[in-house]
Chains A and B, each alone.
Chain A
Amino acid sequence: GDSVTQTEGLVTLTEGLPVMLNCTYQSTYSPFLFWYVQHLNEAPKLLLKSFTDNKRPEHQGFHATLHKSSSSFHLQKSSAQLSDSALYYCAWGSGSWQLIFGSGTQLTVMP
């Protein structure tokens, strides 16, 4: 069935190193894909989404590219900051008009 998969539950890295969080999807439709970020004890909020006028979506230094050939929408940032520590969700807008969230990746950035 249609789904979105985040393979890493936990990612720990040192400040200044690049970040890549994986997201793959399985869908019979051309999906809408999103990254949401949730900081500790806060509500999830949109980080970026896949369909911004064919431009690569970017926000707060993060970017993601939708690759239909590999069914992926990985989140990347060139240099991690301490404030990037949070829970990141890849989400998929299904053909049934329902936003489905992946299992989430907890990113911890160490000094």
Chain B
Amino acid sequence: DPKIIQKPKYLVAVTGSEKILICEQYLGHNAMYWYRQSAKKPLEFMFSYSYQKLMDNQTASSRFQPQSSKKNHLDLQITALKPDDSATYFCASSPRWFSAETLYFGSGTRLTVL
């Protein structure tokens, strides 16, 4: 059974619209992350959360907003979508928020913006 669930697996959106990517982890981890993978920038770090607090944000645009309603949830809201946002978005988690920890990744949401 997958321990990190990302929904939906595939998402098609039109330019200018807004979408929410869902992530839930059942590993009992305290830290969660979002990474983006595209042809231009493989596995680019976006956000990290620890105990539902934002710890690090490397996303230049405010159009990307993480949302954590529970410790094991970290959704990603993307507004005013652009074709350049097309990528696979991976949610990940680790036992602690610490650079020595192993990251466990979900299966990703592949977003296509037309």
Residues of A within 8 A of B (CB): 32, 34, 36, 42-46, 49, 51, 87, 89, 93-101, 103-104
Q: Which residues of B contact A103 (CB under 8 A)?
A: 42
Minimum CB–CB distance from A25 to chain B (whole Å) comes to 13
Given A98-B45, A99-B45, A104-B42, check contact A43 B99 (CB 8 Å). no
A–B complex contacts, Cβ < 8 Å, 28 sampled = A32-B100, A43-B90, A43-B105, A43-B107, A44-B43, A44-B103, A44-B105, A45-B104, A45-B105, A46-B103, A49-B102, A89-B42, A93-B98, A93-B100, A93-B101, A94-B99, A95-B99, A97-B55, A97-B98, A97-B99, A98-B48, A99-B99, A99-B103, A100-B45, A101-B35, A101-B43, A101-B45, A103-B42
- Report the nearest A residue to B110, measured CB to CB: A41
Q: Please tell me if B108 contacts chain A, counting CB pairs below 8 Å.
A: yes
8 Å CB contacts to A: which residues of B34-62? 35, 42-45, 48, 55-56, 58
Minimum CB–CB distance from A10 to chain B (whole Å) comes to 13
Q: Please tell me if B106 contacts chain A, counting CB pairs below 8 Å.
A: yes
Q: Please tell me if B64 contacts chain A, counting CB pairs below 8 Å.
A: no
Size of interface on B: residues with Cβ below 8 Å to A = 23
Q: Which residues of B contact A36 (CB under 8 A)?
A: 103
In the assembled complex, the Cα of A34 lies from the Cα of B94 at a distance in Å of 14
- Report the nearest B residue to A87, measured CB to CB: B42
- Report the nearest A residue to B50, measured CB to CB: A97
- Report the nearest B residue to A44, measured CB to CB: B105
Q: Is the CB of B56 within 8 A of A44?
A: no
B42 touches which of A45, A95, A98, A101 (Cβ 8 Å): A101
Q: Is the CB of A96 within 8 A of B45?
A: no
In the assembled complex, the Cα of A100 lies from the Cα of B56 at a distance in Å of 13
In the assembled complex, the Cα of A95 lies from the Cα of B105 at a distance in Å of 22
Q: Is the CB of B56 within 8 A of A97?
A: yes
Q: Is the CB of A98 within 8 A of B107?
A: no
Of listed B42, B55, B56, B97, residue having the most chain A CB within 10 A: B42
Q: Is the CB of A44 within 8 A of B45?
A: no
Given A44-B43, A44-B90, A89-B42, check contact A98 B100 (CB 8 Å). no
